[in-house]
Amino acid sequence: MDKVILIKYGELTTKKGNRNFFIKTLTKNIENKLKNLNIEIEKDLSRMYIHYKEEDELLLINKIHEIFGIHSYHIAYVTNSNIESIKEKLIKTVQLENFKTFKIKVKRSDKSFPKTSVELAPIFGGIVLKNKNNIKVDVNNPDTIIHIEIREKYTYIYYNEYKGLGGYPCGIQGKGLLMLSGGIDSPVAGYLAMKRGIKVEAVYFEAIPHTSLEAREKVITLVNKLKVYSCDIKLHIVPFTKIQEEIYKNVSPNYVITIMRRMMYRIMESLSKKEKAKVIINGESIGQVASQTLSSMYVINNVTNMPVIRPVACLDKLEIIDIAKKIDTYNTSILPYEDCCTVFVPKHPIINPTLEETLKEEAKINYESILKETIDNTFIYKEEKNYENIL
Ligand code: ATP
Ligand code: MG
Protein backbone atom coordinates (compact mmCIF):
# COMPACT_ATOMS: atom_id res chain seq x y z
CA MET A 1 0.00 0.00 0.00
CA ASP A 2 1.62 3.20 -1.17
CA LYS A 3 -1.06 5.71 -2.18
CA VAL A 4 -4.75 6.10 -1.40
CA ILE A 5 -7.44 8.67 -2.13
CA LEU A 6 -8.22 10.22 1.22
CA ILE A 7 -11.74 11.61 1.48
CA LYS A 8 -12.93 14.22 3.96
CA TYR A 9 -16.65 14.05 4.48
CA GLY A 10 -18.88 17.01 3.68
CA GLU A 11 -21.40 18.47 6.09
CA LEU A 12 -22.18 15.04 7.39
CA THR A 13 -19.53 15.19 10.09
CA THR A 14 -21.62 17.84 11.81
CA LYS A 15 -24.62 15.52 12.11
CA LYS A 16 -23.24 13.31 14.84
CA GLY A 17 -26.37 11.23 15.50
CA ASN A 18 -26.70 10.13 11.90
CA ARG A 19 -23.05 9.83 11.06
CA ASN A 20 -23.01 6.08 10.55
CA PHE A 21 -25.96 6.18 8.21
CA PHE A 22 -24.41 9.03 6.24
CA ILE A 23 -21.11 7.22 5.86
CA LYS A 24 -22.83 3.98 4.88
CA THR A 25 -24.86 5.79 2.22
CA LEU A 26 -21.83 7.63 0.89
CA THR A 27 -19.89 4.34 0.70
CA LYS A 28 -22.72 2.73 -1.25
CA ASN A 29 -22.87 5.69 -3.64
CA ILE A 30 -19.11 5.65 -4.19
CA GLU A 31 -19.11 1.88 -4.78
CA ASN A 32 -21.94 2.31 -7.24
CA LYS A 33 -20.25 5.15 -9.08
CA LEU A 34 -16.91 3.34 -9.29
CA LYS A 35 -18.29 -0.13 -9.86
CA ASN A 36 -16.29 -0.68 -13.03
CA LEU A 37 -12.99 0.07 -11.34
CA ASN A 38 -10.91 -2.14 -9.13
CA ILE A 39 -11.09 -0.31 -5.81
CA GLU A 40 -11.32 -1.07 -2.12
CA ILE A 41 -12.84 1.26 0.45
CA GLU A 42 -11.74 1.60 4.05
CA LYS A 43 -13.42 4.05 6.38
CA ASP A 44 -13.73 5.39 9.87
CA LEU A 45 -15.86 8.12 11.39
CA SER A 46 -13.81 11.00 10.01
CA ARG A 47 -12.09 9.75 6.86
CA MET A 48 -12.51 7.38 3.98
CA TYR A 49 -9.63 5.81 2.08
CA ILE A 50 -9.92 4.43 -1.42
CA HIS A 51 -7.30 1.95 -2.57
CA TYR A 52 -6.96 1.93 -6.34
CA LYS A 53 -4.88 0.93 -9.32
CA GLU A 54 -2.36 3.58 -10.39
CA GLU A 55 -3.67 3.67 -13.98
CA ASP A 56 -7.15 4.68 -12.74
CA GLU A 57 -5.96 7.70 -10.76
CA LEU A 58 -7.03 10.43 -13.20
CA LEU A 59 -10.40 8.86 -13.86
CA LEU A 60 -11.00 8.55 -10.12
CA ILE A 61 -10.15 12.19 -9.50
CA ASN A 62 -12.81 13.18 -12.05
CA LYS A 63 -15.46 10.74 -10.93
CA ILE A 64 -15.19 11.54 -7.23
CA HIS A 65 -15.84 15.13 -8.15
CA GLU A 66 -19.38 14.11 -9.13
CA ILE A 67 -20.39 12.60 -5.78
CA PHE A 68 -22.31 14.58 -3.16
CA GLY A 69 -21.26 14.35 0.50
CA ILE A 70 -17.54 14.95 -0.01
CA HIS A 71 -15.88 18.10 1.25
CA SER A 72 -12.46 17.48 -0.28
CA TYR A 73 -10.22 14.64 -1.37
CA HIS A 74 -6.51 14.09 -1.74
CA ILE A 75 -4.04 11.71 -3.28
CA ALA A 76 -2.17 10.68 -0.14
CA TYR A 77 1.04 8.73 0.35
CA VAL A 78 0.72 6.16 3.11
CA THR A 79 3.26 5.02 5.64
CA ASN A 80 3.34 3.47 9.11
CA SER A 81 2.75 5.81 12.04
CA ASN A 82 6.23 5.95 13.50
CA ILE A 83 8.56 8.89 13.19
CA GLU A 84 11.24 7.10 11.14
CA SER A 85 8.78 5.80 8.53
CA ILE A 86 7.18 9.23 8.23
CA LYS A 87 10.54 10.92 7.72
CA GLU A 88 11.54 8.37 5.11
CA LYS A 89 8.27 8.75 3.20
CA LEU A 90 8.56 12.52 3.35
CA ILE A 91 12.08 12.47 1.89
CA LYS A 92 10.93 10.19 -0.94
CA THR A 93 7.74 12.01 -1.85
CA VAL A 94 9.03 15.54 -1.63
CA GLN A 95 11.22 14.73 -4.67
CA LEU A 96 8.15 13.89 -6.72
CA GLU A 97 6.38 17.17 -6.12
CA ASN A 98 6.88 20.49 -7.82
CA PHE A 99 6.89 23.64 -5.66
CA LYS A 100 9.07 26.55 -4.62
CA THR A 101 7.47 27.54 -1.32
CA PHE A 102 5.69 25.41 1.25
CA LYS A 103 4.23 25.13 4.69
CA ILE A 104 3.79 22.04 6.85
CA LYS A 105 0.49 21.19 8.50
CA VAL A 106 0.55 18.32 10.96
CA LYS A 107 -2.62 16.72 12.29
CA ARG A 108 -2.08 14.23 15.05
CA SER A 109 -5.29 12.35 15.69
CA ASP A 110 -3.41 9.58 17.48
CA LYS A 111 -2.80 11.37 20.76
CA SER A 112 -0.48 8.60 21.99
CA PHE A 113 2.06 9.61 19.34
CA PRO A 114 5.18 10.74 21.28
CA LYS A 115 5.32 14.34 19.96
CA THR A 116 2.65 17.03 19.46
CA SER A 117 1.78 18.62 16.09
CA VAL A 118 3.46 21.86 17.17
CA GLU A 119 6.69 20.00 17.95
CA LEU A 120 6.52 17.93 14.76
CA ALA A 121 5.95 20.70 12.19
CA PRO A 122 9.47 22.21 12.41
CA ILE A 123 11.07 18.77 12.43
CA PHE A 124 9.32 17.79 9.19
CA GLY A 125 9.91 21.27 7.73
CA GLY A 126 13.65 20.84 8.35
CA ILE A 127 13.63 17.48 6.56
CA VAL A 128 11.89 18.95 3.52
CA LEU A 129 14.36 21.86 3.32
CA LYS A 130 17.31 19.49 3.58
CA ASN A 131 16.08 17.17 0.86
CA LYS A 132 14.93 19.48 -1.91
CA ASN A 133 16.86 22.31 -3.57
CA ASN A 134 15.76 25.91 -4.08
CA ILE A 135 12.73 25.90 -1.86
CA LYS A 136 11.73 27.90 1.18
CA VAL A 137 9.05 28.11 3.83
CA ASP A 138 6.21 30.56 3.32
CA VAL A 139 3.50 30.31 5.97
CA ASN A 140 1.27 32.99 4.46
CA ASN A 141 1.01 32.15 0.78
CA PRO A 142 2.78 28.86 0.02
CA ASP A 143 2.67 27.06 -3.36
CA THR A 144 2.00 23.85 -1.47
CA ILE A 145 0.75 22.89 1.93
CA ILE A 146 2.29 19.59 2.94
CA HIS A 147 -0.29 17.82 5.07
CA ILE A 148 0.87 15.11 7.42
CA GLU A 149 -2.00 13.31 9.14
CA ILE A 150 -0.87 10.93 11.84
CA ARG A 151 -3.54 8.35 12.59
CA GLU A 152 -3.32 5.31 14.84
CA LYS A 153 -1.88 2.80 12.40
CA TYR A 154 -0.97 4.77 9.32
CA THR A 155 0.17 8.27 8.44
CA TYR A 156 -1.00 10.07 5.32
CA ILE A 157 1.12 12.66 3.52
CA TYR A 158 -0.47 14.77 0.79
CA TYR A 159 0.47 17.81 -1.24
CA ASN A 160 -2.79 18.45 -3.08
CA GLU A 161 -6.44 19.24 -2.49
CA TYR A 162 -9.40 18.54 -4.78
CA LYS A 163 -12.61 20.29 -3.80
CA GLY A 164 -15.61 17.98 -3.51
CA LEU A 165 -19.18 18.91 -4.38
CA GLY A 166 -20.20 19.14 -0.72
CA GLY A 167 -23.81 18.51 0.24
CA TYR A 168 -25.22 15.24 1.55
CA PRO A 169 -24.93 11.78 -0.01
CA CYS A 170 -27.77 10.98 -2.38
CA GLY A 171 -30.59 9.14 -0.64
CA ILE A 172 -30.15 10.20 2.98
CA GLN A 173 -33.22 12.42 2.84
CA GLY A 174 -35.67 10.03 1.21
CA LYS A 175 -37.47 10.59 -2.03
CA GLY A 176 -38.75 13.69 -3.86
CA LEU A 177 -40.52 14.02 -7.20
CA LEU A 178 -39.00 16.58 -9.55
CA MET A 179 -41.19 18.28 -12.15
CA LEU A 180 -38.76 18.13 -15.04
CA SER A 181 -39.57 20.10 -18.19
CA GLY A 182 -37.07 20.53 -20.96
CA GLY A 183 -36.20 24.04 -19.77
CA ILE A 184 -33.18 25.50 -18.03
CA ASP A 185 -34.56 25.83 -14.52
CA SER A 186 -35.90 22.43 -13.57
CA PRO A 187 -32.70 20.39 -14.12
CA VAL A 188 -30.87 22.93 -11.94
CA ALA A 189 -33.61 22.61 -9.31
CA GLY A 190 -33.16 18.82 -9.44
CA TYR A 191 -29.39 19.11 -9.05
CA LEU A 192 -29.73 21.40 -6.02
CA ALA A 193 -32.31 19.12 -4.40
CA MET A 194 -30.02 16.12 -4.93
CA LYS A 195 -27.23 18.08 -3.32
CA ARG A 196 -29.23 18.08 -0.09
CA GLY A 197 -29.41 14.27 -0.18
CA ILE A 198 -32.85 13.89 -1.75
CA LYS A 199 -33.32 10.84 -3.95
CA VAL A 200 -34.99 12.36 -6.97
CA GLU A 201 -37.42 10.82 -9.44
CA ALA A 202 -38.37 12.93 -12.44
CA VAL A 203 -41.89 13.56 -13.73
CA TYR A 204 -42.41 14.87 -17.25
CA PHE A 205 -45.81 16.06 -18.52
CA GLU A 206 -46.14 15.61 -22.25
CA ALA A 207 -48.88 16.49 -24.68
CA ILE A 208 -48.36 14.37 -27.76
CA PRO A 209 -49.20 15.19 -30.60
CA HIS A 210 -48.90 18.87 -29.61
CA THR A 211 -45.41 18.14 -28.32
CA SER A 212 -42.91 15.98 -30.16
CA LEU A 213 -40.91 12.90 -29.27
CA GLU A 214 -37.84 15.09 -29.66
CA ALA A 215 -39.09 17.07 -26.66
CA ARG A 216 -39.25 13.82 -24.72
CA GLU A 217 -35.76 12.84 -25.90
CA LYS A 218 -34.52 16.13 -24.53
CA VAL A 219 -35.94 15.31 -21.11
CA ILE A 220 -34.40 11.83 -21.26
CA THR A 221 -31.03 13.40 -22.04
CA LEU A 222 -31.46 15.75 -19.08
CA VAL A 223 -32.28 12.82 -16.81
CA ASN A 224 -29.11 11.07 -17.98
CA LYS A 225 -27.07 14.20 -17.26
CA LEU A 226 -28.53 14.46 -13.76
CA LYS A 227 -27.88 10.77 -13.16
CA VAL A 228 -24.17 11.56 -13.08
CA TYR A 229 -24.77 13.11 -9.65
CA SER A 230 -27.25 10.58 -8.34
CA CYS A 231 -27.71 6.92 -7.52
CA ASP A 232 -30.30 6.50 -10.25
CA ILE A 233 -33.25 8.54 -11.52
CA LYS A 234 -36.55 7.09 -12.66
CA LEU A 235 -38.51 9.08 -15.22
CA HIS A 236 -42.31 9.10 -15.00
CA ILE A 237 -44.10 10.28 -18.12
CA VAL A 238 -47.56 11.80 -17.68
CA PRO A 239 -49.82 11.77 -20.77
CA PHE A 240 -51.21 15.26 -20.27
CA THR A 241 -52.90 15.84 -23.65
CA LYS A 242 -56.48 15.13 -22.67
CA ILE A 243 -56.54 17.36 -19.63
CA GLN A 244 -54.82 20.18 -21.49
CA GLU A 245 -57.24 20.03 -24.39
CA GLU A 246 -60.15 20.06 -21.98
CA ILE A 247 -58.77 23.13 -20.22
CA TYR A 248 -58.05 24.87 -23.50
CA LYS A 249 -61.58 24.23 -24.77
CA ASN A 250 -63.48 25.36 -21.68
CA VAL A 251 -61.49 27.82 -19.60
CA SER A 252 -61.03 31.56 -20.23
CA PRO A 253 -57.67 31.95 -22.03
CA ASN A 254 -56.06 34.07 -19.32
CA TYR A 255 -56.73 31.35 -16.71
CA VAL A 256 -55.52 28.41 -18.84
CA ILE A 257 -52.00 28.31 -17.38
CA THR A 258 -53.15 28.80 -13.78
CA ILE A 259 -55.54 25.88 -14.04
CA MET A 260 -53.16 23.72 -16.01
CA ARG A 261 -50.59 24.12 -13.28
CA ARG A 262 -53.12 23.29 -10.58
CA MET A 263 -53.80 20.07 -12.47
CA MET A 264 -50.07 19.35 -12.60
CA TYR A 265 -49.82 19.81 -8.83
CA ARG A 266 -52.81 17.52 -8.24
CA ILE A 267 -51.16 14.83 -10.35
CA MET A 268 -47.85 15.38 -8.57
CA GLU A 269 -49.51 14.90 -5.20
CA SER A 270 -51.17 11.72 -6.32
CA LEU A 271 -47.94 10.33 -7.81
CA SER A 272 -46.05 11.29 -4.65
CA LYS A 273 -48.44 9.25 -2.54
CA LYS A 274 -48.13 6.32 -4.91
CA GLU A 275 -44.33 6.52 -4.99
CA LYS A 276 -43.97 7.35 -1.29
CA ALA A 277 -42.21 10.63 -2.07
CA LYS A 278 -42.15 13.23 0.68
CA VAL A 279 -41.75 16.37 -1.36
CA ILE A 280 -42.42 17.93 -4.76
CA ILE A 281 -39.54 19.81 -6.38
CA ASN A 282 -39.77 22.19 -9.32
CA GLY A 283 -37.93 24.93 -11.15
CA GLU A 284 -40.25 27.83 -10.41
CA SER A 285 -38.45 31.11 -9.94
CA ILE A 286 -40.26 34.07 -8.42
CA GLY A 287 -41.46 36.55 -11.00
CA GLN A 288 -39.97 34.74 -14.00
CA VAL A 289 -43.30 34.26 -15.81
CA ALA A 290 -46.99 35.01 -15.10
CA SER A 291 -47.52 31.68 -13.34
CA GLN A 292 -44.64 32.40 -10.95
CA THR A 293 -45.77 35.65 -9.34
CA LEU A 294 -46.50 35.30 -5.63
CA SER A 295 -50.26 35.54 -6.33
CA SER A 296 -50.02 32.79 -8.94
CA MET A 297 -47.93 30.60 -6.68
CA TYR A 298 -50.51 31.00 -3.91
CA VAL A 299 -53.42 30.02 -6.13
CA ILE A 300 -51.57 27.15 -7.80
CA ASN A 301 -50.06 25.76 -4.60
CA ASN A 302 -53.51 25.83 -3.00
CA VAL A 303 -54.44 22.40 -4.38
CA THR A 304 -51.88 20.50 -2.32
CA ASN A 305 -50.74 20.19 1.26
CA MET A 306 -47.49 18.55 0.25
CA PRO A 307 -44.31 20.49 0.77
CA VAL A 308 -43.13 21.98 -2.53
CA ILE A 309 -39.51 23.04 -2.70
CA ARG A 310 -38.32 25.44 -5.34
CA PRO A 311 -34.52 25.46 -5.13
CA VAL A 312 -34.12 28.22 -7.74
CA ALA A 313 -37.01 30.39 -6.49
CA CYS A 314 -34.72 33.20 -5.39
CA LEU A 315 -32.00 32.97 -8.03
CA ASP A 316 -31.66 35.28 -11.03
CA LYS A 317 -31.86 33.66 -14.45
CA LEU A 318 -28.13 34.27 -14.98
CA GLU A 319 -27.31 32.53 -11.72
CA ILE A 320 -29.43 29.57 -12.79
CA ILE A 321 -27.71 29.50 -16.18
CA ASP A 322 -24.30 29.47 -14.49
CA ILE A 323 -25.23 26.30 -12.62
CA ALA A 324 -26.84 24.77 -15.73
CA LYS A 325 -23.54 25.25 -17.56
CA LYS A 326 -21.56 23.83 -14.70
CA ILE A 327 -23.66 20.66 -14.60
CA ASP A 328 -23.74 20.44 -18.41
CA THR A 329 -27.52 20.63 -18.86
CA TYR A 330 -27.60 24.09 -20.47
CA ASN A 331 -26.87 23.10 -24.07
CA THR A 332 -29.60 20.46 -23.97
CA SER A 333 -32.10 22.79 -22.28
CA ILE A 334 -31.81 25.43 -24.99
CA LEU A 335 -32.71 23.02 -27.80
CA PRO A 336 -35.84 24.47 -29.38
CA TYR A 337 -38.51 21.79 -28.88
CA GLU A 338 -41.93 22.88 -27.64
CA ASP A 339 -42.97 21.96 -24.13
CA CYS A 340 -46.60 21.31 -23.17
CA CYS A 341 -46.71 24.60 -21.29
CA THR A 342 -45.41 26.67 -24.19
CA VAL A 343 -47.72 25.04 -26.75
CA PHE A 344 -50.81 26.11 -24.85
CA VAL A 345 -49.60 29.44 -23.56
CA PRO A 346 -52.22 32.19 -24.07
CA LYS A 347 -51.36 35.73 -25.22
CA HIS A 348 -52.18 37.27 -21.85
CA PRO A 349 -51.86 34.82 -18.97
CA ILE A 350 -53.15 36.35 -15.75
CA ILE A 351 -50.45 37.74 -13.50
CA ASN A 352 -52.56 38.14 -10.37
CA PRO A 353 -55.15 35.37 -10.37
CA THR A 354 -57.61 35.15 -7.49
CA LEU A 355 -58.64 31.90 -5.88
CA GLU A 356 -62.31 32.77 -6.30
CA GLU A 357 -62.05 33.36 -10.04
CA THR A 358 -59.84 30.30 -10.47
CA LEU A 359 -62.41 28.06 -8.77
CA LYS A 360 -65.13 29.46 -11.03
CA GLU A 361 -63.07 28.74 -14.13
CA GLU A 362 -62.11 25.31 -12.90
CA ALA A 363 -65.77 24.41 -12.32
CA LYS A 364 -66.25 24.59 -16.08
CA ILE A 365 -64.49 21.28 -16.52
CA ASN A 366 -65.19 17.91 -15.10
CA TYR A 367 -61.62 17.05 -14.33
CA GLU A 368 -61.85 14.29 -11.71
CA SER A 369 -62.23 11.38 -14.11
CA ILE A 370 -59.70 12.74 -16.60
CA LEU A 371 -57.17 13.21 -13.81
CA LYS A 372 -57.70 9.65 -12.66
CA GLU A 373 -57.26 8.33 -16.19
CA THR A 374 -54.12 10.45 -16.64
CA ILE A 375 -52.61 9.14 -13.41
CA ASP A 376 -53.51 5.55 -14.32
CA ASN A 377 -51.81 5.97 -17.71
CA THR A 378 -48.64 7.54 -16.32
CA PHE A 379 -45.73 5.21 -16.93
CA ILE A 380 -42.09 4.84 -16.05
CA TYR A 381 -39.84 5.34 -19.04
CA LYS A 382 -37.66 2.36 -19.85
CA GLU A 383 -35.27 2.92 -22.74
CA GLU A 384 -36.85 2.49 -26.18
CA LYS A 385 -39.65 0.17 -25.13
CA ASN A 386 -42.24 2.78 -24.42
CA TYR A 387 -42.44 4.34 -27.85
CA GLU A 388 -45.31 2.10 -28.92
CA ASN A 389 -47.36 3.42 -25.97
CA ILE A 390 -47.55 6.71 -27.65
CA LEU A 391 -47.21 6.34 -31.41
P1 ATP B 1 -37.71 25.46 -16.81
O2 ATP B 1 -38.35 26.19 -15.65
O3 ATP B 1 -37.35 24.07 -16.51
O4 ATP B 1 -36.62 26.26 -17.43
P5 ATP B 1 -39.75 26.58 -18.14
O6 ATP B 1 -39.20 27.85 -17.60
O7 ATP B 1 -40.15 26.47 -19.54
O8 ATP B 1 -38.78 25.42 -17.90
P9 ATP B 1 -41.98 27.04 -16.55
O10 ATP B 1 -43.11 27.27 -17.43
O11 ATP B 1 -41.22 28.16 -15.96
O12 ATP B 1 -40.96 26.11 -17.26
O13 ATP B 1 -42.47 26.06 -15.43
C14 ATP B 1 -42.01 26.13 -14.11
C15 ATP B 1 -41.70 24.76 -13.58
O16 ATP B 1 -42.80 23.87 -13.74
C17 ATP B 1 -40.57 24.09 -14.34
O18 ATP B 1 -39.33 24.52 -13.87
C19 ATP B 1 -40.84 22.64 -14.04
O20 ATP B 1 -40.39 22.30 -12.75
C21 ATP B 1 -42.35 22.59 -14.06
N22 ATP B 1 -42.82 22.21 -15.41
C23 ATP B 1 -43.22 23.02 -16.41
N24 ATP B 1 -43.53 22.29 -17.51
C25 ATP B 1 -43.36 20.99 -17.19
C26 ATP B 1 -43.49 19.75 -17.88
N27 ATP B 1 -43.88 19.69 -19.14
N28 ATP B 1 -43.20 18.61 -17.23
C29 ATP B 1 -42.77 18.64 -15.95
N30 ATP B 1 -42.61 19.78 -15.25
C31 ATP B 1 -42.90 20.94 -15.85
MG1 MG C 1 -38.84 28.53 -15.70
Q: What pLDDT digit, counting tens, does each position of 298-322 carry?
A: 999 999 999 999 999 999 999 999 9
Q: Is 70 helix (H, G, I), strand (E, B) or coil?
A: strand
What's the average model confidence in pLDDT over 343-355? 82
pLDDT in the model for residue 263: 98
Q: Which residue has the higher pLDDT, 338 or 256?
A: 256
pLDDT in the model for residue 12: 62
- Asked whether 282 lines ligand 1 (CB < 6 A), one says yes
Q: Which residue has the higher pLDDT, 383 or 138?
A: 138
> What number of CA atoms fall less than 13 Å from residue 261's CA on the CB side?
27
Using 50, 70 and 90 to split pLDDT, how confident is the model at 388?
very low
- Asked whether 283 lines ligand 1 (CB < 6 A), one says yes
Neighbouring residues of the ion ligand 2, judged by CB less than 5 Å? 185
Taking the C-alpha atoms of residue 230 and residue 191, their distance in angstroms, rounded to an integer, is 9
Beta-ladder partners of 156: 78, 149
Per the rule left: phi > 0, alpha: psi between -120 and 50, beta: everything else, 49 is beta
- The full 3-state SS of 114-165, as one line of letters, equals CCCHHHHHHHHHHHHHHHCCCCEECCCCCCEEEEEEECCCEEEEECCCEEEE
Q: Is 156 helix (H, G, I), strand (E, B) or coil?
A: strand
391 has pLDDT over 90:
no
327 has pLDDT over 80:
yes
Could you say which DSSP state residue 50 is in? E
Q: Angle, nearest 10°, between helix axes 256-275 and 367-377?
A: 50
| CATH classification number, 175-390, choose in 3.30.1490.100, 2.40.50.140, 3.40.50.620, 3.40.50.150 | 3.40.50.620
Return the domain boundaries, the chain: 3-163, 175-390
Per residue in 112-158, pLDDT tens? 888 899 999 999 999 999 999 999 999 999 999 999 999 999 999 99
Nearest atom (ligand 1) to Cα of 238: 28
Residue 92 one-letter amino acid:
K
Contact present, 183 and 333 (Cβ < 8 Å): yes
387 has pLDDT over 80:
no
Per the rule left: phi > 0, alpha: psi between -120 and 50, beta: everything else, 239 is beta
The CATH classification number of 3-163 equals: 3.30.2130.30
- Among 293, 300, 341, 344, which is best to mutate for testing ligand 1, by the most ligand atoms less than 8 A from CB? 341
Q: Is 181 exposed, middle or buried (0-12, 13-18, 19+ CB in 10 A)?
A: buried
pLDDT in the model for residue 13: 53
pLDDT in the model for residue 18: 82
Using 50, 70 and 90 to split pLDDT, how confident is the model at 384?
low
Could you say which DSSP state residue 338 is in? P
Per residue in 359-379, pLDDT tens? 999 999 999 999 999 999 999
Percent of the chain surpassing pLDDT 90? 83
Q: Is 295 helix (H, G, I), strand (E, B) or coil?
A: helix
